[in-house]
Amino acid sequence: MTERKVILLVEDNPDDEKLILMALQKGNITNEIVVARDGQEALEKLLGAPGKPPITPTVVLLDLHLPKIDGLEVLKKLRGSDKTKHLPVVMLTSSDEEGDRVRSYDLGANSYVCKPVDFGAFAGAVNQLGLYWLLLNRPAP
Amino acid sequence: MPLSAALETERRIVREISAIVVAIGGVAFGLVLVLVRGILAPIRGLLSGISSIGVGDYDVRVPVLSRDELGELAESFNAMSAQLARTTVSKEYVEGVLENMRDLLLVTDSAGRVKTANHAAAEALGGAVVGRPLAELLSSDDGFAAPKAARDAEVALLAKDGGRIPALLSSAPLRDREGRPQGWIVVAKDITERKRDEEALVRAKLAAEASSRELEAFSYSVAHDLRAPLRAVDGFSQILLDGYSDKLDDHGKDYLRRVRAGSRRMGQLIDDLLNLSRITRSVLKLEDVDLSAIVEELAGELKRSDPKRSVEFAVEPGVVVRGDPNLLRVALVNLMSNAWKYTGKKPSARIEFGRRPGPGTTLYVRDDGAGFDMAFANKLFHPFSRLHSASEFEGTGIGLAIVQRVVGRHRGNIRGEGVPGRGATFEFTLWEENA
Ligand SMILES: Nc1ncnc2c1ncn2[C@@H]1O[C@H](COP(=O)(O)OP(=O)(O)O)[C@@H](O)[C@H]1O
Ligand SMILES: [Mg+2]
């Protein structure tokens, strides 16, 4: 049942991308993971672009600092569109600055997770996130 | 009567009349003398006394020449001038004050032309001030083209050397006894120095803000940008250990473990640095903080973290101070966990918290653990400097630096005292008067 659910990972750092994919794999989460490498690509995937229909992931893992359009800006645009205003968005970022957290929640983030340096902790966090949003969370209709 | 007899009678009469005339003349002359001496001289004295008082000299006295009405008049005149001198400010006195005051003083006529300028005004504005319109001597936003009442208006005085002197100007109308406007009295205070200080203050504030913004940006980028590559180092070495261990010999695995330990330690250092800079950046929220309660709570947590250890806590109850609850907690966490850590090698230990009696707020945390060598005490509070090696006791050396900053933000001081093998005491003050 979780097979058809898609995760959109918005991450510009290829190392982090690889580590997240490996962590999910290690946790036996085999859902399709679509990756967007900057904010603009993320918005095109979620809101659609000429010739490309939008995708509807179960959850978006969104980095804060992204090229072109940064994470907070992406979040703001998503919340401004009827299609994506209820879409679960998890901020997944290196920063645990209070300011970033406050701004993220102000703009309607569902969750804020700081990427730990320690890979064990990081893998654990990514796994729990995946399981929670794919299995436990009941999305808005 | 014979002619000769008649002539004789006539001559006698003439002689007598002459004598009478001479006598009358003498009497008249005497009278004039008396008049001049007794009446005119005292009156002249009085007149000159009155005119002296008219120009502000109250020290004048007239001689008392007689014991009559005029004498009385002179005496009461002297009494009056003495009374005036006592109760009235003399013109010289006023002039002395005005001339020597540091503020500029100008008196203008009702059209705003300067009639009088004191020394300070002449000095600042150039000698030839008298006769010039006030409007030529200063420039201001609200314009003094026509004189008007003002109180501490900010103006620039146009100095003789072409410079502009910032000044606070106050002016008020001068009126005569009937209330008719006579002119204006204008006082200006040179505020060059104050302005300079203000500007220096503004510059210093801007610089401080800029550097705190820089610090903010710096720590932000440390937080975000330095962590990402570390995560890669740690993550991929872990993946190598997990998935490729069959391809690595023991040496290879050992090296990889060291890579991981190094990256994690660096991650810890980054977090420490960030915490340190947060202490400095955060806004103080002052409340009454129950330090005893915090310490009791921390003691409980420490005991639970290693229930096998035998540590006795002696916490003075009811130590409440004014301060930021979050920051004070951070300080106590560091002091208490140090006490816990550095007593870790003893079979049993005692950790105390309390307040020193006496004026002011002096608090202490004491333990009977490893202690330290006082020769290096000056390094205790430097970020990342340690007095024990990592093989003896783990740590990054940030804790006491954080404590010192917290104490500093509460205008206090901290010092540590240790005896190797006997224990350590950290004593800190809060809200020192002259800190
Ligand atoms: N309670 C204590 N007893 C003995 N030494 C201490 C104590 N607290 C601090 N020190 C010494 O001061 C140094 C700096 O302390 P701190 O800044 O907390 O760093 P850390 O505990 O991480 O080493 C420690 O390395 C230790 O040598
Ligand atoms: Mg410490």
Ligand 1 probe mutation, B272, B340, B392, B400, most atoms within 8 A of CB:
B400
d(CA B164, CA B35): 67
Q: What is the DSSP string of B154-213?
A: EEEEE-TTS-EEEEEEEEEEEE-TT--EEEEEEEEEE-HHHHHHHHHHHHHHHHHHHHHH
For ligand 2, the distance from its centroid to the CA atom of residue B391, given in whole angstroms, is 15
Cβ of A19 within 8 Å of Cβ of B236? The answer is: yes
pLDDT tens-digit profile of B46-59?
Answer: 778 777 777 767 77
Distances (CA, A) of A83 to A47, A55, A104, B340: 8, 11, 19, 55
* pLDDT reading at B402 higher than 80: yes
CA angle B226, B228, B232 (to 5 degrees): 120
Interface test with B, best of A92, A117, A126 (most B CBs within 10 A): A117
Domain boundaries, chain A: 11-59+71-136
For ligand 2, the distance from its centroid to the CA atom of residue B285, given in whole angstroms, is 25
Q: Is B96 on the interface with A (CB under 8 A)?
A: no
Interface size, chain A vs chain B, as Cβ–Cβ contacts under 8 Å? 60
Q: What is the pLDDT of residue B373?
A: 93
**pLDDT tens, per residue, chain A with 141 residues:** 444 789 999 999 899 999 999 888 888 888 899 999 999 999 999 998 888 899 999 999 999 988 888 899 999 999 999 999 999 999 998 887 888 899 999 999 999 998 888 888 888 888 888 888 888 888 877
For residues A79 and B82, which has the higher predicted lDDT (pLDDT)? A79
* Tokens of residue B17, six digits: 């009349």
* pLDDT reading at B236 higher than 50: yes
Distances (CA, A) of B87 to A95, A111, A128, B81, B83: 78, 84, 94, 10, 6
Q: What is the mean pLDDT of residues B335-351?
A: 97
d(CA B293, CA B299): 10
For residues B70 and A26, which has the higher predicted lDDT (pLDDT)? A26
* pLDDT reading at B32 higher than 50: yes
Q: Is B246 on the interface with A (CB under 8 A)?
A: no
Q: What is the pLDDT of residue A2?
A: 45
The residue of chain A with its CA nearest to that of B226 is A94
Lowest-pLDDT choice from B52-61, B165-174, B290-299: B52-61
CA angle B194, B200, B204 (to 5 degrees): 145
Confirm or reject: Cβ of B331 under 6 Å from ligand 1. no
| pLDDT classification of B302: cutoffs 50, 70, 90 | very high
d(CA B191, CA B167): 5
Find out whether A108 and A91 touch, Cβ atoms under 8 Å: no
Q: What is the pLDDT of residue B141?
A: 67
- Give me the residue from A64, A117, A123 closest to B263, CB to CB: A117
For residues B379 and B295, which has the higher predicted lDDT (pLDDT)? B295
For residues B80 and B114, which has the higher predicted lDDT (pLDDT)? B114
Looking at residue B113, what DSSP letter applies?
Answer: B
Q: Is B38 strand, coil or helix?
A: helix
d(CA B300, CA B197): 53
Q: What is the pLDDT of residue B146?
A: 67
CATH number of A11-59+71-136: 3.40.50.2300
Cβ of B235 within 8 Å of Cβ of A19? The answer is: yes
**For residue A19, which residues of chain B lie inside 8 Å, CB to CB?**
231-232, 235-236
Q: What is the pLDDT of residue B336?
A: 98
* pLDDT reading at B110 higher than 90: no
ipTM of the complex: 0.76
Q: Which residues on neighbouring strands pair with residue B287, listed in sequence order? A: B323
Confirm or reject: Cβ of B399 under 6 Å from ligand 1. yes
Q: What is the pLDDT of residue B349?
A: 97
For ligand 1, the distance from its centroid to the CA atom of residue B387, given in whole angstroms, is 7
Find out whether B385 and B397 touch, Cβ atoms under 8 Å: yes
**For residue B227, which residues of chain A lie inside 8 Å, CB to CB?**
94, 115, 117
For residues B116 and A1, which has the higher predicted lDDT (pLDDT)? B116
